[in-house]
Structure formats: structure tokens, C-alpha cells
């Protein structure tokens, strides 16, 4: 496509595309990890990375199978294995075998991991952003969260079904336009 036609197409496009959203989401995620690194420094914690903290927060309370952690957190296998090994070695996680199938690994937060997560939650609760000092962030955050969850579900369904379900629904949009628009 010629440069002028590209510019015309971009200027005629209104709204935000999924690609635009993905780029913003990635930048926000990187900024959040930078913020997490700053919070860890304030706490004097230097033996864990922000990405590893996110693994701890994903695990939460209780015990979880490693496979479930991979599904829940969308971690890549070798990267997750490395992080889990580091977290066990540094005392943030406890790892054991499933009582039903000894081949399946189960993990849970150690006391050290629980304490770090609680300290980070307290910092988050006391931050000006959480206290809504300058604006009504609670409603905006809820709307953003809901929208991102819908987007996640849409992309997950696209991966799972290859877009067939959505494409077939689009062809029936004249029958149930409200239903189709809710899927988009």
C-alpha cells in the first residue's frame, strides 16, 4: 500500500484497535513491573524479581498444581520452571508432590512468600493511587478491569476456536444483532 493510502486509512479509522490496546497493555505491564521493582527496593528486598512477585501473587493462598499455575498466569514452560526453582531456592515457595499422583508437583507460598505478599498489599492499600486522592479511580479501575477481562476472553476464544464461532455469529447478525454485538 502506498504511504498516502496508509495515512488515509489510518486517519479514516476511528476508535481504538485491538493492536492499539495490546501495545498499551504491554507498556502498562512494563511500567507496573518497574513500579514493583521500586516497591521491592523500598522494602529492602533484593532476592526476587518483579516477575517472580507476580508468580507469588498468582499462586495466592493455599496450594496449587504447577500446571494450574501455568494456565492461570499464562507463563511459558521453561521460564516458569526457572522462576519456580529460584523461588523455592530463595525460600518464597514450598514445593511438594501431589498426594494422588506423585509425578504432579504442587506449590504453595512459604511463610516468607506470604509475608512479602502481605507487605506489598499493605503498600498498595496505602498508596495515593489506591486512596483515590485526585480522582474517582475506583469506577475507572473497575471499568478497565471488566474491559480487559472481556478482551482476554475474546482473545482466548479466538485462540481456542480459531475465530470460527465469531465469524459464524457475524453471518447471523441480522437475526440477533444484540447477541452478536455483545460478542464483539
pTM to 2 decimals?
0.70
From residue 30, how far is each of 23, 50, 156, 160, 168 by CA, in Å?
11, 10, 22, 27, 36
Bin 7: left if φ > 0, else alpha if -120 < ψ < 50, else beta: alpha
* Spatial distance between the Cα atoms of 157 and 87, rounded to a whole number of angstroms: 32
* Spatial distance between the Cα atoms of 143 and 130, rounded to a whole number of angstroms: 15
Nearest alpha carbon to residue 140 among 152, 129, 151: 129
Return the number of other C-beta atoms located less than 10 Å from residue 70's C-beta: 16
> Per residue in 5-18, pLDDT tens?
444 444 455 688 87
- Angle (CA) 49-120-108 rounded to 5° is 70
pLDDT above 80 (res 167): no
> Per residue in 18-34, pLDDT tens?
788 889 999 999 999 99
pLDDT at 1: 45
Amino acid at each position: 500500500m502506498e504511504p498516502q493510502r496508509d495515512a488515509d486509512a489510518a486517519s479514516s479509522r476511528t476508535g481504538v484497535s485491538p493492536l492499539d490496546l495490546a501495545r498499551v497493555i504491554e507498556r502498562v505491564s512494563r511500567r507496573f513491573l518497574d513500579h514493583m521493582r521500586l516497591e521491592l527496593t523500598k522494602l529492602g528486598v533484593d532476592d526476587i524479581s518483579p516477575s517472580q512477585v507476580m508468580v507469588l501473587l498468582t499462586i495466592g493462598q493455599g496450594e496449587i498444581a504447577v500446571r494450574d499455575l501455568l494456565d492461570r498466569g499464562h507463563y511459558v514452560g521453561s521460564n516458569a520452571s526457572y522462576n519456580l526453582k529460584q523461588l523455592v531456592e530463595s525460600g518464597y515457595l514450598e514445593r511438594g508432590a501431589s498426594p494422588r499422583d506423585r509425578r504432579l508437583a504442587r506449590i504453595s507460598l512459604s511463610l516468607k512468600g506470604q509475608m512479602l505478599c502481605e507487605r506489598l498489599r499493605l503498600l498498595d492499600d496505602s498508596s495515593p493511587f489506591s486512596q483515590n486522592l485526585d480522582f474517582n479511580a475506583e469506577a475507572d479501575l473497575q471499568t478497565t478491569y471488566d474491559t480487559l477481562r472481556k478482551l482476554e476472553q475474546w482473545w482466548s476464544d479466538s485462540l481456542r476456536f480459531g475465530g470460527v464461532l465469531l465469524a459464524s455469529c457475524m453471518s447471523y447478525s441480522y437475526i440477533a444483532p444484540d447477541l452478536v454485538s455483545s460478542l464483539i
